[in-house]
Every structure is written in structure tokens, then in C-alpha cells.
Structure 1
């Protein structure tokens, strides 16, 4: 069961989303909020798996600020931005703030459900046209010789877990150190290994040493 918190300043939108999502046996809307500060408070109390976050909320904290603060205070909570803004600037700012996904309010409800499942499983989701634009921009950079370091694609939490793994700690030990679940550690480990294209612990150790994550006293 995926626990969901809805943060949107329009009551009718919250009501519609709640009715739609509660129809799915794999999902439960555990709370709602009308602005960012209330959303953060509800999230800290309810510990949802996924937060649906609107960007434009005129009263209280806006969606971008709320996303950034929520990721600092609940790093294992996945945030799906649900907005009317089909705009690259908003998209990049949302990702930079820590959002796991970005979807438009005019998307079919099947796409919204799919996006929620995607980010709840520890993956990222972007609506199709945004993905196409990002790919085009990346290919343009490659053509111009602007290669980025793949290490920079890792989240702060993934980098942290990479360091613990390289030092020989088991998933359970890492979970205890970071005060998160073993399942969360396993998800982050799977994601970072996929991003880095690595398959074995020796490869992880070698990569971590190159990046200065593994030191010996």
C-alpha cells in the first residue's frame, strides 16, 4: 500500500485526486494540505511514501521551497510535482529541489497512477515530452563536447550509501547507521549501481576510492 499526501491549494483538486487514488487498492491518501508549510507538517506526522506537490500555492510556502525542505527533513519520502507548468525552468528547479518526478495536471489519470508507482519504487519519472527535451539537450551537450561526470547524477543519499558499501558495511548495518529501513538501503544501492553501470563490490570500492569516498586511517 502506497501512502500518499496531497499538497495543493485548490480544495476541489485535492478532493478529486483523493477520490481517484483511493479507488486503487495499492494506494491510500493519508492526508491533504493547502500550502507548503502545512504539507511539511503533515508529512512529518504521517510519514507518507509519496507526496503530490503543487508548485503554485499563493498562500504560505510554495511547492519548490516545500520540496527542498521536505527532502532535507524526510529524505526517503518521494515527491511527485503535479503542476500546470509545462516549462523547462520549473522542471529543472523542481529536480534540483529534490523532486523524484514531474507530471502535468492535464495528464491522463493512468499516467498519474503509473508515475506514483514509479517514484514509490525509488525511480524517477518525467512526463514524455520533458524526457524528450532532456535527451535532446544531453545529446546537444555531447556534440559540443560537454561531458558531465556520471558521479554527479547520484543523489546525496546515494553517494553516502556508496561510501558505506565500499567500506564493507552490510545493508542492515548501513540502515542502522542512517536510521532508515533495509529496503530503502537496497533501493538506493540498486539505483546507484544502475546509474554507475557497476555490478560487483570490488568495482564499487574502486570507484569510491577514485572519488575520495573511501579513506584509510
Structure 2
């Protein structure tokens, strides 16, 4: 069995030790390095090229969000899972915008953390349940500054339609069924949407769809 390589970044040595015990206790996961500050986290990631980085938000020298963005830019194949004591909405929002694959609070049980790790490694996205509802509510109330609608002008009518369905949580097969398209065609549309809007992944597409007002929960 191939082990997924994990880099742990947290300012507290005790927390790093605890995370290492949880991760290293799994047959499919292994810790390849640790970092206690943001700059070291980026350096370690570039040197070790891990499959996944567990990243705290509040790090000395360079905050975890900025470090995550630098790692994702340099190593697009490396996933980043933000792990923090504080489930503040702005942290979750910033993490998603930085290209992180998820946001989880540290008080999550070990079993939940492991599920999140494996989900992220499969390419899925993970957001702490306590944050999800409030994050969407921001788009409804307009607390998040909307992006200019002109950014969506680069999309065709069909691409807008696909984006709206992606934002409502439909997968490619479901979108294909709803629009009477082949699944391969839907994948092509999604890829073009990400390229045209300069987005890293589907979750950033969802964020933009809500920000721009293209879709709203319940709409």
C-alpha cells in the first residue's frame, strides 16, 4: 500500500506531536516533516513535496493562509487542509480563496480528522459543519463584497448554466442528466469555466457563483 505523505505545520509542539501520533498510526498515512512557522512550512513543502499539508492559520513569521497559497501555487498537486482552533468565517473564506482543500477546527475528533484527510487526498473538499451555514449566509446577506458581474461575461450561456448547477452541489453525472448532455461534455464545460475564470477548483467556482449573485441558496 502506498502511503500518503503528510506535512504538519503548527506553532505548538504539543499539537504537532498529537497530530503526528494520529496520522502515523494509520497504515495509509505517514508524516514526512513538521514546521512551527509559516516560512518553514513553505520551505519544507518545497523540499519534501508532500501529498497533503496540515496547516494552522496562526503561525509565526508567515500566516497559514499565505503559506497555503504559496504552497498551492508552487505545488498544485499538493493538497492543503487548514486546521485551527477558531472557526471564524473569514478564516474559512480566506482558506478557500487561497486554494486550500478544506477547513477543519482542532476540536474535531481524531476519527473526523482522518476522514477529512482521506477525503482531501481523494480530491474532495471539506468544510467544518459549524462554518458551512454561516459561510453561505454571507453571500445571501451580502456581507461578502460581490465580485463584478462582468467577470462572468467570459462564459457562454451553457457554461453559466453548468456553473449554477455546480454551485448547487450537483456532480458531473447529475448535471449531465439535468441538461441532457454527456458526462464528458460536462467535464469539458467545467474545465473551461475554471480556466476562463482563473479558478483552481470547483469549490472556488462555487464561491464565485454565490459572490457574483449568479445563484443564491434556495433560488
Corresponding residue of 1:95: 96
Query: Once the 2 structures are TM-superposed, how far is the Cα of residue 20 of structure 1 from its aligned partner?
Result: 1.3
Q: Is the 8 A contact 2:173 2:183 kept in 1?
A: no
The answer to whether the aligner puts 1:31 opposite 2:33 as a matched pair is: yes
Q: Normalization by structure 2: what TM-score? A: 0.66
Write the distance in 1 (CA, Å) between the matches of 2:31 and 2:55: 13
Structure 1 pair 197–70 and aligned structure 2 pair: CA distance change class (3 A)? same
Equivalent residue for 1:194, pick from 169, 172, 177: 172
Corresponding residue of 1:65: 66
Which aligned pairs between 1:1-217 and structure 2 lie closer than 5 A? Answer: 1-58=3-60, 60-137=61-138, 140=140, 194=172, 197-198=175-176, 199-203=182-186
Write the distance in 2 (CA, Å) between the matches of 1:196 and 1:97: 28
Query: Once the 2 structures are TM-superposed, how far is the Cα of residue 133 of structure 1 from its aligned partner?
Result: 2.6
Structure 1 pair 43–136 and aligned structure 2 pair: CA distance change class (3 A)? same
Q: Any unmatched runs of 5+ in structure 2?
A: 153-169, 177-181, 197-219
Q: Is the 8 A contact 2:172 2:186 kept in 1?
A: no
Alignment coverage as a number of residue pairs? 169
Write the distance in 2 (CA, Å) between the matches of 1:81 and 1:212: 25
Query: Once the 2 structures are TM-superposed, how far is the Cα of residue 197 of structure 1 from its aligned partner?
Result: 2.5
Corresponding residue of 2:166: none
Query: Once the 2 structures are TM-superposed, how far is the Cα of residue 132 of structure 1 from its aligned partner?
Result: 2.7
Query: Once the 2 structures are TM-superposed, how far is the Cα of residue 10 of structure 1 from its aligned partner?
Result: 0.9
Structure 1 pair 122–9 and aligned structure 2 pair: CA distance change class (3 A)? same
Query: Once the 2 structures are TM-superposed, how far is the Cα of residue 203 of structure 1 from its aligned partner?
Result: 5.0
Query: Once the 2 structures are TM-superposed, how far is the Cα of residue 201 of structure 1 from its aligned partner?
Result: 3.6
Query: Once the 2 structures are TM-superposed, how far is the Cα of residue 196 of structure 1 from its aligned partner?
Result: 8.9
Query: Once the 2 structures are TM-superposed, how far is the Cα of residue 86 of structure 1 from its aligned partner?
Result: 1.3
Query: Is the partner of 1:129 in helix, strand or coil?
Result: helix
Write the distance in 1 (CA, Å) between the matches of 2:71 and 2:44: 11
Query: Is the partner of 2:97 in helix, strand or coil?
Result: helix
Corresponding residue of 1:188: none
Structure 1 pair 197–109 and aligned structure 2 pair: CA distance change class (3 A)? same
Query: Once the 2 structures are TM-superposed, how far is the Cα of residue 118 of structure 1 from its aligned partner?
Result: 0.6
Alpha-carbon RMSD across the aligned residues, in angstroms, is: 3.4
